[in-house]
């Protein structure tokens, strides 16, 4: 238990978002948005003009920041940078793939569900249960 990553206990733990405009605006209306002193936001709106490099850079930036506890990313955007999402292995910030209104959710591509399935299959093999 001592080696577990701790989420900051101050009021600074944020949720970051990488998603389409409608999804981001919905979360901003719920109070998730933040702009720091350097005028950096905790979200990236992905549209047809957004480059793959911008998405990759935002993902790397959000996962490296100490004050972010969760990164919400639309699944279709996560599929664009699947190699980064799948290679990310830290517990904090947690990466959660969410559906968007224009792209259906596919549980087969969800990195969290894939890891859970792997854990349960490894436990069942180790314990002799199936």
The enclosing domain of 68 has a CATH number of 3.40.50.10580
Higher pLDDT, 115 or 105: 105
Confirm whether 30 is domain-assigned: yes
- Total tally of structural domains belonging to the chain: 1
pLDDT by residue (tens digit) across 66-102? 999 999 999 999 999 999 998 998 989 999 999 888 8
Confirm whether 71 is domain-assigned: yes
pLDDT by residue (tens digit) across 15-68? 999 999 999 999 999 999 988 888 999 999 999 999 999 999 999 999 999 999
DSSP letters for 20-68: -HHHHHHHHHTT---B-TT--BSEEE--TT--HHHHHHHHHHHHH-TTE
Confirm whether 5 is domain-assigned: no
Confirm whether 4 is domain-assigned: no
pLDDT for the residue numbered 129: 52
Domain range for 72 is 14-127
């Amino acid at each position: 238990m001592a080696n577990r990553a701790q989420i900051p206990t101050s009021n600074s733990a944020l949720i970051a978002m990488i998603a389409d405009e409608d999804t981001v605006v919905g979360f901003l209306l719920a109070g998730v948005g933040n702009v720091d002193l350097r005028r950096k936001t905790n979200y990236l709106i992905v549209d047809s003009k957004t480059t793959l490099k911008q998405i990759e850079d935002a993902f790397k930036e959000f996962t490296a920041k100490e004050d972010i506890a969760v990164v919400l990313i639309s699944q279709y955007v996560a599929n664009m940078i699947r190699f980064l999402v799948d290679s990310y292995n830290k517990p904090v910030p947690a990466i959660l793939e969410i559906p968007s209104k224009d792209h259906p959710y596919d549980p087969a591509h969800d990195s969290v569900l894939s890891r859970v399935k792997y854990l349960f299959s490894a436990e069942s093999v180790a314990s002799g249960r199936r």
